[in-house]
């Protein structure tokens, strides 16, 4: 069984991966890592490296994709495959500090329920019925975090390194994936990344937004299964 680490994104825990692990259980030894309480991408990466086996595949969603790239930066010899879902590689953009700072202030002044109501809806790209079905679990996920943990994760993102130079150095099977309705990390952004990564594949998830793993776990798991099938088994 291939060791596989699924990395959660901003404000996310195991909820975001929905039933993806169960759909991969016959193909991989799946572990989910979340990052509440961390304030740098480097510390997040070291947390995974500290518990992972000597060689493993890693799939990161959103901020988790940034963590996966940081793991590659630090220990490429340990990575057998890389999947980057609903994520990006660019450094901070104009107005990002202001926009993210406003969300942190909202969490601190009005609480995590208010933050969930503001932050979650623009992330979604599924049908109205599917969004209504998912929103209680996603709201509860955000409510389990704290304003302090959220502020730490935002600090990690605002101080992220430029990951673009890493892309041509990636030498393992790589999956780039996003939802067709993801307005935060678009398909075109992933296509730009895909052109720079050797041995990479781009998959579009129809009817999903930025939260593709929970919006369309069936399609995301299918893409991950295909990617895992390209990763060579480790020699005993």
Number of H helices, E strands in the chain: 10, 6
Whole-number pLDDT of residue 94 = 83
**Residue 110 CB partners (closer than 8 Å, separation 6+):** none
CATH number for the domain that contains residue 183: 3.40.50.1820
Among residues 187, 204, 220, 191, which one has the least CA distance to residue 19? 220
d(CA 121, CA 128): 10
116: in domain: no
Q: What is the domain count for the chain?
A: 1
How would DSSP label each residue in 106-157?
HHHHH-HHHHHHHHSGGG--S-HHHHHHHHHHHHHHHHHS-HHHHHHHHHHH
Q: Mean pLDDT over residues 44-60, rounded?
A: 98
10 belongs to a structural domain: yes
- How far apart are alpha carbons 68 and 57 in whole angstroms? 10
205: in domain: yes
The distance of Cα 86 from the centroid of its chain, to the nearest Å, equals 6
Q: What pLDDT was estimated at residue 236?
A: 45
Average pLDDT over residues 36-44: 97
Which range marks the domain in which residue 185 is found?
Answer: 2-93+153-228
Q: Summarize the confidence of residues 91-103 as an average pLDDT.
A: 92
Please give the pLDDT value at position 199: 85
Coil, helix or strand at residue 165:
helix
Residue 52: what pLDDT?
98
Nearest to 163 by CA among 94, 84, 74, 73: 73
Q: Which of 138, 190, 145 is nearest to 17 (CA)?
A: 138
Mean pLDDT over each residue of the chain, to the nearest integer: 96
% of the chain residues with pLDDT over 70: 99
> Is there a contact between 196 and 170 (Cβ–Cβ < 8 Å)?
no
Whether residue 195 is contained in a domain is answered as: yes
* pLDDT score for 233: 79
Q: DSSP string of 146-190?
A: -HHHHHHHHHHHHTPPP-GGGGGG--S-EEEEEETT-SSS-HHHH
Q: Which residue has 């169960």 as its token pair?
A: 22
């Amino acid at each position: 069984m291939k060791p596989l680490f699924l990395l959660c994104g901003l404000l996310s825990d195991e909820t975001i991966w929905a039933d993806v692990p169960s759909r991969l259980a016959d193909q991989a030894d799946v572990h989910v890592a979340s990052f509440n309480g961390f304030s740098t991408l480097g510390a997040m990466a070291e947390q995974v490296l500290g518990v992972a086996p000597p060689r493993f595949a890693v799939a990161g969603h959103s901020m988790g994709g940034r963590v996966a790239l940081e793991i590659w930066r630090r220990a490429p010899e340990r990575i057998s495959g890389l999947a980057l879902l609903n994520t990006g590689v660019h450094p901070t953009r104009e107005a990002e500090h202001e926009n993210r700072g406003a969300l942190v202030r909202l969490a601190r002044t009005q609480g995590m329920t208010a933050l969930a109501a503001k932050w979650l809806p623009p992330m979604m790209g599924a049908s109205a019925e599917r969004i209504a079905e998912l929103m209680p679990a996603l709201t509860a996920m955000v409510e389990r975090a704290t304003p302090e943990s959220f502020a730490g994760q935002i600090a990690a993102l605002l101080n992220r390194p430029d990951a673009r130079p890493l892309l041509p150095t990636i030498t393992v099977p790589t999956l780039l994936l996003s939802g067709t309705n993801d307005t935060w990390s678009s398909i075109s952004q992933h296509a730009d990344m895909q052109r720079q990564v050797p041995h990479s594949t781009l998959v579009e998830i129809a009817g999903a937004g930025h939260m593709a793993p929970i919006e369309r776990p069936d399609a995301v798991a299918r893409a991950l299964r295909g990617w895992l099938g390209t990763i060579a088994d480790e020699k005993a």
